[in-house]
Each structure stands twice: as C-alpha cells, then as structure tokens.
C-alpha cells in the first residue's frame, strides 16, 4: 500500500475488499452446496464398516470452525480437507473461492494497516490538523469500525450456515446408511 493514498481512498479500497470477502465467502457456500447436491460425488457403501469412508461422514467427523481456529475471519478452509466434501474429480470451484476469500482477507488487512500508517504519518506531518480533517478522520474511523462489525457479523452468519450444512450432511448420511441405528 502506498502512503501517498488518502485515508478516504484507503477506506473506499477497504470497503471494496470487504465486499469481495463477503462475495468469496458466499461462493464457498455455493460451491459446497453444488458439490453436496451432486449425487455422483457421494460414495454409496454396502456395509456399516465402510460408512466411515464416505466423504459425507468424513466431513461430519471434522472439527467445527471455532475449534480449528477459522472463526477469526482468516479462512473458512485451512487446506487440510476439513470442513468440505472432497471429490475424486476435485473441487475447483471450492478451491478457487477459498483462494479468493483468503486473498481478499489479506488485502483487507493490508488496507487497514495502511490506514493506520497513513493516519500516523499525517499526524506526524501536521501536529494540529484542521477541524474538517479531524471530522473526516473521525468519520472514517467510525466507518472502519462499522466495516469491522459487519465483517464479524457476516463471518458469524457464514459459520452458522456451515454448521447447518454439516447437520444436513449428518442427517443425509444417517438416512442413506444401510444399517439400522
């Protein structure tokens, strides 16, 4: 990030990255839904002992987002296969969405860091700013705070949707199990 950009420009760029993050998170959910709606990706087993090899059961046996540390907005997927259904054919759309999510989070953090650096540099250059500048800074701080709150809410909502998706997968695998429970 360039220090020459104004705080307002950085805030607008941050808002753009936040929107990209939300869009990528939605795409992750849509990709997971597409994979779960494709019966060709489900493994059908013939005995109770083989049901643990099912990708649906494997996805349900993994940790929740809050347990694997993804609840802080870093990533919905940590690259180890947890939290998604892996198919034999691959999951390019999910991988792409995951990459976009991680990239937009990194860019958003970079912009937030650049805003604070820009403010520090501006404060160092002019020890006493005009009331208009201070009002603008105040407004941008409120906007940045609101963006952080919105991101936190959206991540919570995404976590809830993923948990519900896991419950649905669990129900589906129970219904498809050839063994009586």
Q: Domain count for the chain, please give it.
A: 1
CA distances from 16 to 13, 23, 65, 171 (A): 5, 11, 25, 38
For residue 138, pLDDT over 80 is answered with: yes
Whether 2 is covered by a domain: the verdict is no
pLDDT band, very low/low/confident/very high, at 159 (cuts 50, 70, 90): very high
Q: Per residue in 82-120, pLDDT tens?
A: 444 444 344 678 888 889 999 999 998 998 888 888 777
Whether 67 is covered by a domain: the verdict is yes
Q: Per residue in 41-87, pLDDT tens?
A: 665 554 444 444 444 444 444 433 333 334 444 444 444 444 444 44
Whether 1 is covered by a domain: the verdict is no
Which pTM was predicted? 0.43
């Amino acid at each position: 990030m360039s220090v020459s950009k104004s705080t307002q420009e950085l805030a607008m760029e941050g808002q753009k990255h936040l929107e990209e993050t939300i869009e990528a998170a939605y795409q992750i959910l849509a990709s997971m839904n597409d994979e779960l709606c494709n019966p060709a990706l489900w493994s059908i087993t013939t005995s109770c002992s083989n049901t643990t090899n099912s990708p649906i059961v494997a996805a349900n046996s993994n940790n929740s987002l809050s347990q694997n540390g993804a609840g802080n907005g870093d990533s919905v997927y940590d690259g180890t296969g947890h939290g998604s259904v892996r198919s034999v054919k691959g999951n390019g759309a999910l991988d792409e969405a995951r990459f976009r999510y991680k990239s937009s989070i990194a860019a958003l953090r970079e912009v937030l860091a650049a805003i604070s650096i820009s403010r520090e540099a501006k404060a160092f250059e002019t020890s006493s700013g005009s009331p208009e500048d201070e009002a603008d800074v105040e407004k941008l701080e409120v906007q940045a705070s609101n963006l952080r709150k919105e991101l936190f809410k959206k991540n919570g909502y995404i976590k809830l949707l993923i948990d519900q998706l896991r419950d649905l997968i669990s129900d589906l695998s129970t219904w498809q199990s050839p063994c009586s429970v």
